[in-house]
Amino acid sequence: MNASTCLFMFATLLLSGRVLAREEVIATITNDENKQVYTFVAETNEETDSIKAFYKDNYSAAGKKVDRELMASEKLTEGGLVLEKRGDHEVLNLKSDNFDLDQGGIVTIDTLYNGVNGQRKEYDLQLAKATDGEWRLFKGKTIVTKLHIVVNKKFMLGAVGVKEIQMK
């Protein structure tokens, strides 16, 4: 086998792994405290359409992607995926008791409502394939693509948690 044949085979193998994966933006997440924007992305297997991994893509105020954080899909059912952490507090956590990488399931957004007393608040959604074959978040029968976090602020303390999540 000559060098050009080896190079062609190596390039084919390298590219074939990338072709078999597809990325789908599940939701864009913003908040009312700062200009931070990030997206929650699912990497799916092109052949089976099952979820392989999740990513959190962080964007600058100018809209440029600044970094990507891999979030192993198995953690969704093993304690949850921490989307936002401040100090020792898990502010935003995505978890599920019944999530299946092929079919989806109920996911719970667990938020820290008040970091002073540890009070938490939960929002249940369904992560499943829509009729178009894309993975989507659902609140009832409505597709949710944007989550806007309203910060819970207390006089003289400032931000203590998440007051509510507005879903659009």
- Looking at every residue in the chain, the average pLDDT score rounds to 89
For 59-78, the DSSP string reads E-TTS-EEEEEEE-GGGGTT
> pTM of the entire structure?
0.84
Q: List pLDDT tens digits, range 25-55.
A: 999 999 998 888 999 999 999 888 999 999 9
Phi, psi (degrees; rounded to nearest 5) at 8: -60, -45
Beta bridge mates, 76: none
In the predicted structure, residue 161 carries a pLDDT above the cut 90: yes
Cα separation values, 9 from 19, 77, 80, 96, Å: 15, 38, 40, 41
Q: How many whole angstroms separate alpha carbon 91 and alpha carbon 114?
A: 9
Residue 11's pLDDT band (cuts 50, 70, 90): very low
Q: Which of these, 152, 154, 153, 123, lies nearest to 162 by C-alpha position?
A: 152
Beta bridge mates, 44: 22, 51
Q: How many whole angstroms separate alpha carbon 74 and alpha carbon 5?
A: 39
In the predicted structure, residue 118 carries a pLDDT above the cut 90: yes
Which of 6-20, 70-84, 147-161 is predicted with the least confidence, judged by mean pLDDT? 6-20
